Amino acid sequence: MDHVPPGVELRHLRGFLAVADELNFTHAAAVLRVGQPALTRTVRALEDALGTRLLERTTRRVALTEAGSRLRDELAPLLSRLDGALRTAGSEPPLLRLGFTSLLPQACADLVHAFKAATGAGVRLVRRDEPLAGLLS
């Protein structure tokens, strides 16, 4: 498939994934903080948009179809990455603040660069010549 079928929204994918993880509409609805009937409609709308059944439902259980299993396997890591991207969007990278002696910047330049490269965190070195300044703040 080269495109997303019309009408498929992120809420449909999240709803399906919650049901696929829980294999229970009531539990999945609680996880998502939505009503069970609304979640049922959401998953049914996704199935209609895709033109295939994703779940086998009985009064006692929910099971993934082969198509549902494939979609879950593809979708779970994508939504996890999307959630991570949304968490970090607009937020500043972590910042490491160090107190140091006058010799630290020259002695640790390589270490600071390696730390920044490995973690993506910013490093701010601020030297204060007030011996007790760090203890008071």
Q: Cα torsion at 86, 92, 98, 104 (round to 10°)?
A: 110
Residue 79 lies in a domain: yes
User: Domain check: are 14 and 59 in the same one?
Assistant: yes
The pLDDT value given to residue 4 = 76
Residue 80 lies in a domain: yes
Mean pLDDT in the chain? 84
User: Domain check: are 16 and 82 in the same one?
Assistant: yes
Residue 41 lies in a domain: yes
The pLDDT value given to residue 125 = 67
Boundary-marking domain end, from 88, 105, 123: 88
Count of domains for the chain: 2
CA distances from 92 to 98, 102, 116 (A): 18, 28, 14
The pLDDT value given to residue 123 = 73
Q: 50 with 39: CB under 8 angstroms?
A: no
User: Domain check: are 125 and 77 in the same one?
Assistant: no
Give the structural domain span for 51.
Answer: 10-88
* Residue 45's CATH number: 1.10.10.10
The pLDDT value given to residue 116 = 78
User: Domain check: are 81 and 17 in the same one?
Assistant: yes
Q: 31 with 22: CB under 8 angstroms?
A: yes
Distance CA 111, CA 113 (A): 5
The pLDDT value given to residue 73 = 96
pLDDT digits (tens, 9 = 90+) for 20-58: 999 999 999 999 999 999 999 999 999 999 999 999 998
pLDDT digits (tens, 9 = 90+) for 110-125: 777 787 788 777 777 6
pLDDT-wise least confident of 39-48, 66-75, 76-85, 113-122: 113-122
* End-to-end CA gap in the chain: 58
Residue 1 lies in a domain: no
Residue 3 lies in a domain: no
User: Domain check: are 37 and 73 in the same one?
Assistant: yes
